[in-house]
Amino acid sequence: MQEQLVDISRLQFAATAMYHFLFVPLTIGMTWILVIMESVYVMTGKTIYKDMTKFWGKLFGINFALGVTTGITMEFQFGTNWAYYSHYVGDIFGAPLAIEGLMAFFLESTFIGLFFFGWNKLPKAQHLLVTLLMAIGTNLSALWILIANGWMQNPVGSDFSYVTMRMEMTNFWDVIFNPVAQAKFVHTVSAGYVVGAMFVLSISAYYLLNNKHIEFAKRSFRIAAAFGLAAACSVIVLGDESGYTVGEAQETKLAAMEAIWHTEKAPAGLNLIASIDEKAQKNNWEVQIPYALGIIGTRSLSKEVKGITEIKERNRERIIAGIEAVKTLEQLRRNPSDKAMVARFETIKKDLGYGLLLRKYVTNMDEVTPAIIQKAVDSTIPAVTPMFWGFRAMVGLGFTFLLLFAASFYYTLRGKCAHEKWLLRAVLWSLPLPWVACEIGWFVAEYGRQPWTIYGVLPTHLSVSAISVENVYGSLAGFIGFYTLLLVVELYLMFKFARLGPTQYSEQH
Amino acid sequence: MLDYVTLKIIWWVLVGVLLIGFAIMDGHDMGVGTLLPFVGKGDTERRVVINTVAPHWDGNQVWFITAGGAVFAAWPLIYATAFSGFYWAMMAVLWSLFFRPVGFDYRSKIENKIWRQTWDWGLFVGGFIPPVIFGVAFGNLLQGVPFYFDENLLVHYTGSFWALLNPFALLAGLVSSAMITFHGAIYLMLRTEGDIHRRAKIAANIFGILALGLFAIAGIWVAKGIGGYAIVGNYDISALPNPLDKQVTHQTGAWMQNYSKMPITMAIPALAFISGIIAIFLAKIEKAGAAFVFSSLMMAGIIGTAGISMFPFLMPSSSNPNSSLMVWDSASSHLTLGIMFWAVVIFMPIIIIYTSWAYKVMSGKVTKNYIEDNKHSVY
DSSP secondary structure letters along B271-334: HHHHHHHHHHHHHHTT-HHHHHHHHHHHHHHHHHHHHHHHTTEEE-BSS-GGG-EETTTS---H
Contact B71, B11 (CB under 8 A): no
Best probe of the A interface among B333, B355, B356, B362, by most A CBs < 10 A, is: B333
| A204: pLDDT strictly greater than 90 | yes
Task: Tell me if A170 and B335 make a contact (CB, 8 A cut-off).
Answer: yes
| B331: pLDDT strictly greater than 90 | yes
Best probe of the B interface among A111, A162, A465, A472, by most B CBs < 10 A, is: A465
Is A79 in CB contact (< 8 Å) with chain B? yes
Query: In 3-state terms, what secondary structure has residue A262?
Result: coil
Question: Chain A residue closest to B89 (CA)?
Answer: A80
Over residues A275-317, the pLDDT tens digits come to 989 888 888 888 888 888 888 888 888 888 889 999 999 999 9
Closest Cα of chain B to A330: distance in Å?
Answer: 9
Alpha helices in A349-468, H assignment, sequence order: 352-356, 370-379, 384-413, 421-429, 433-447, 460-463
Q: What is the mean pLDDT of residues A216-232?
A: 95
Closest Cα of chain A to B216: distance in Å?
Answer: 32
Over residues A122-156, the pLDDT tens digits come to 999 999 999 999 999 999 999 999 999 999 999 99
Q: What are phi and psi of A304, to 5 degrees?
A: -85, 150
Closest Cα of chain B to A76: distance in Å?
Answer: 7
Which residues in chain A touch residue B156, judged by CB atoms under 8 angstroms apart? 466
Is A81 in CB contact (< 8 Å) with chain B? yes
| A505: pLDDT strictly greater than 70 | no
Question: Chain A residue closest to B358 (CA)?
Answer: A114
The secondary structure of A339-380, three-state, reads HHHHHHHHHHHHHHHHHHHHHHCCCCHHHCCHHHHHHHHHHC
- In sign, the C-alpha dihedral spanning A220, A225, A230, A236 is positive
Reported as a pLDDT band with limits 50, 70 and 90, residue A509 is very low
Task: Tell me if B109 and A100 make a contact (CB, 8 A cut-off).
Answer: no
Over residues A381-433, the pLDDT tens digits come to 999 999 999 999 999 999 999 999 999 999 999 988 888 999 999 999 999 99
**More confident call, A336 vs A467:** A467
> What are the extents of the domains in chain B?
4-373
Out of B98, B110, B354, the one facing A110 most closely (by C-beta) is B354
Q: Provide the percentage of residues in chain A whose pLDDT is more than 90.
A: 83
Reported as a pLDDT band with limits 50, 70 and 90, residue A508 is very low
pLDDT at A504: 60
Report which DSSP code applies to B229.
Answer: E
Contact A49, B38 (CB under 8 A): no
Best probe of the B interface among A76, A80, A130, by most B CBs < 10 A, is: A80
Which residues in chain A touch residue B81, judged by CB atoms under 8 angstroms apart? 83
Report, in this order, helix, strand and coil percent for chain A, each rounded to 5: 75, 5, 15
Task: Tell me if B340 and A98 make a contact (CB, 8 A cut-off).
Answer: yes
ipTM score over 0.85, yes or no:
yes
**What residues contact residue B19 under an 8 Å CB cut-off, 6+ apart?**
B67, B303
Closest Cα of chain A to B131: distance in Å?
Answer: 16
**More confident call, A417 vs B134:** B134
Distance (Å, whole) CA A315 – CA A255:
14
Question: Chain B residue closest to A491 (CA)?
Answer: B106
Contact B24, B183 (CB under 8 A): yes
Closest Cα of chain A to B274: distance in Å?
Answer: 32
